[in-house]
Chains A and B, each alone.
Chain A
């Protein structure tokens, strides 16, 4: 199978047809008098977007509206257009100067603003060229191919039709990447120019391992965190009870803090998984203790006393962690990843644990260890947690000793004898559990698995769930299966009573739980 590599801006897996976003049309050298109309048109588009935007998206749109309502800025544009007799050149020059200044500022906050100004520039240029980039035409099941996607363009997309995004350029630290993580849309960036012949082809976007695969790959794990069917948001409200009256917990997965501004707390029983490595602002170094504590605090504010499970940095495999060296291995998925990588960097673990405890400030906190395979690993993290609590002393908050330590169950080694691990709770990662149980990589077509989860995988899941019930320990299943009704049925039948999903999947998941379809 052909595969193309990129960097993961937003995790998840989606299948669909690769389609190129409508490009900006070529310039026409419009004279200055078109500029006022173009500004009015852009303002109208942005105002329409603002009506539905929330959180980070709303901030980005508002900034652009304010720019266009700034008389001095508009005057500068008009003067440049009149002086040069070319509106497009004026827009490119006036905004280009600011973009360059921001891009070179060396400050991350202001660098991100450069992309927002480029966004505004492109919108004005499109308006000058008389183009309305309509997304209504995109068919369902589209994997969108773009070149440097801008934030407001992302906000215009109908996410019921776009199940994934491939950006040939772009960065994992951009506002668009944050928006995609917040919405739970799988996104790959920096793939380099892809062959035009790929357009219109069936592809699988594997933004878990950072690959775009030609052909729709088989296997049940492939479509995790794929595309949610259109189910009304009101289904997200309230408790999820099966027709038999069994209560199923639905927790939020946090890939970006901006999701907290968009996810209604009433939809969720808590936060089931925080991918902390995705919250780091810098691609080169892990954030320090104070800054980490400031990043984690909003999670607890949002949860308002409901449980918050924060996973320690999950790297390795083929996913590097900023600033941490991952040994070069012939087979990184069978090497230093998850808990193993963290154990080589005890200072990183200590810093993160202290930051989490400080952010929790006595509120209920669960700390999740990524990919665990041996009981000794949990002993390491139990000791590290105890050290962090005593190092913090009173700063850890009155109830810090109630902090729970849990483990990701992603291997048969962890699932077979869950009772042998010192874990207060368990989180099942089905993606990896399937591939490690079957010895089949997710991009392999060596096995034809169909829609259902294989019986052996279910047997492992059942083992963990039963251990949880016997010992009074919670077991949650991470990753989204809400578009996969066969799997969801199987998991409910296995006794799974807690799911953790990205925000946009919650209504669909609850709908299925309630109706059995």
Chain B
């Protein structure tokens, strides 16, 4: 499925949104963690800043940081593929944990 299909949403896509907390928003370190985590899933995953217009590939750190999501702003996540549900759950959990390492301090 192409990105343009995804922009239309529609069948096959699951969607979720979450507010980015933490001191500095989705800056370098969180953007790296988010894109790394996204690459762990086979689903196509797109991300958009709330109020923004473009959906971008969540597996690309360059695209994610270019969204310039500041702290307190929400992001929308959209996934399609075999593990789409798991991907959204996992990524939302990562954001909710404020990008802390799992099981770590």
A71 vs B36: C-alpha distance when bound (angstroms): 12
A63 vs B32: C-alpha distance when bound (angstroms): 7
A98 neighbours in B (Cβ, 8 Å): 62, 66
Q: A70-B35, A70-B60, A73-B60 are in contact. Are A59 and B29 (CB under 8 A)?
A: yes
Interface positions, chain B 10-47, Cβ under 8 Å from A, are: 23-25, 27-29, 32, 35
User: Which secondary structure dominates where chain A touches chain B?
Assistant: helix
Q: B62 touches which one: A73, A107, A110 (CB < 8 A)?
A: A73
Report yes or no: A59 in contact with B68, Cβ–Cβ below 8 A: no
Report yes or no: A110 in contact with B23, Cβ–Cβ below 8 A: no
Report yes or no: B27 in contact with A72, Cβ–Cβ below 8 A: no
B61 neighbours in A (Cβ, 8 Å): 63, 66-67, 70, 73
Across the two chains, which residue of chain A brings its CB closest to B28? A63
Across the two chains, which residue of chain B brings its CB closest to A98? B66
The smallest beta-carbon distance between B51 and chain A, in angstroms, is 14
A294 vs B24: C-alpha distance when bound (angstroms): 13
A244 vs B68: C-alpha distance when bound (angstroms): 59
Question: Is the C-beta of B85 less than 8 angstroms from some C-beta in chain A?
Answer: no
Question: Is the C-beta of A101 less than 8 angstroms from some C-beta in chain B?
Answer: yes
Question: Is the C-beta of A105 less than 8 angstroms from some C-beta in chain B?
Answer: yes
A71 vs B38: C-alpha distance when bound (angstroms): 13
A59 vs B65: C-alpha distance when bound (angstroms): 14
Question: Is the C-beta of A490 less than 8 angstroms from some C-beta in chain B?
Answer: no
A321 vs B23: C-alpha distance when bound (angstroms): 24
Report yes or no: B68 in contact with A102, Cβ–Cβ below 8 A: yes
A473 vs B99: C-alpha distance when bound (angstroms): 45
Q: A107 touches which one: B32, B60, B70 (CB < 8 A)?
A: B70
The smallest beta-carbon distance between A197 and chain B, in angstroms, is 41
| Total A residues in contact with B, Cβ cutoff 8 Å | 20
Question: Is the C-beta of A113 less than 8 angstroms from some C-beta in chain B?
Answer: yes
B65 neighbours in A (Cβ, 8 Å): 113
A101 neighbours in B (Cβ, 8 Å): 66, 68
Question: Is the C-beta of B59 less than 8 angstroms from some C-beta in chain A?
Answer: yes
B66 neighbours in A (Cβ, 8 Å): 98, 101
A110 neighbours in B (Cβ, 8 Å): 25, 27, 68, 70
Report yes or no: B68 in contact with A105, Cβ–Cβ below 8 A: yes
The smallest beta-carbon distance between A208 and chain B, in angstroms, is 31
A2 neighbours in B (Cβ, 8 Å): none
Contact indicator per residue, chain A 80-96, by CB within 8 Å of chain B (1) or not (0): 00000000000000000
A116 neighbours in B (Cβ, 8 Å): 28
Q: B63 touches which one: A72, A105, A113 (CB < 8 A)?
A: A72
B32 neighbours in A (Cβ, 8 Å): 62-63, 66
Q: Which of A62, A71, A110 has the most CB of B within 10 A?
A: A110
Interface positions, chain A 2-55, Cβ under 8 Å from B, are: none
A107 vs B24: C-alpha distance when bound (angstroms): 10
A59 neighbours in B (Cβ, 8 Å): 28-29
Report yes or no: A107 in contact with B35, Cβ–Cβ below 8 A: no
A359 vs B59: C-alpha distance when bound (angstroms): 38
A102 vs B25: C-alpha distance when bound (angstroms): 14
A72 vs B47: C-alpha distance when bound (angstroms): 14
B24 neighbours in A (Cβ, 8 Å): 109
A113 neighbours in B (Cβ, 8 Å): 27-28, 65
A210 vs B71: C-alpha distance when bound (angstroms): 35
Report yes or no: B68 in contact with A107, Cβ–Cβ below 8 A: yes
A110 vs B25: C-alpha distance when bound (angstroms): 9
The smallest beta-carbon distance between B80 and chain A, in angstroms, is 17
A66 vs B65: C-alpha distance when bound (angstroms): 11
The smallest beta-carbon distance between A308 and chain B, in angstroms, is 21
A70 neighbours in B (Cβ, 8 Å): 35, 60-62
Contact indicator per residue, chain A 447-474, by CB within 8 Å of chain B (1) or not (0): 0000000000000000000000000000
B25 neighbours in A (Cβ, 8 Å): 107, 109-110
Q: A63-B32, A72-B57, A102-B68 are in contact. Are A109 and B62 (CB under 8 A)?
A: no
Query: What would 23 A/B residue contacts be, using CB atoms closer than 8 Å?
Result: A62-B32, A63-B29, A63-B32, A67-B61, A67-B62, A70-B35, A70-B60, A70-B62, A71-B60, A72-B59, A72-B60, A73-B61, A73-B62, A101-B66, A105-B68, A107-B70, A109-B27, A110-B25, A110-B27, A110-B70, A113-B27, A113-B65, A294-B23
Give the 10 A-B CB pairs with smallest separation, nearest first: A73-B62, A72-B60, A63-B28, A109-B24, A66-B61, A109-B27, A66-B32, A70-B61, A110-B68, A70-B62
**Other contacts beyond A62-B32, A101-B68: 11, CB < 8 A:** A59-B29, A63-B61, A67-B61, A73-B61, A73-B63, A76-B62, A101-B66, A105-B68, A109-B25, A109-B70, A110-B68
- B-to-A contact residues, CB < 8 Å: 23-25, 27-29, 32, 35, 57, 59-63, 65-66, 68, 70
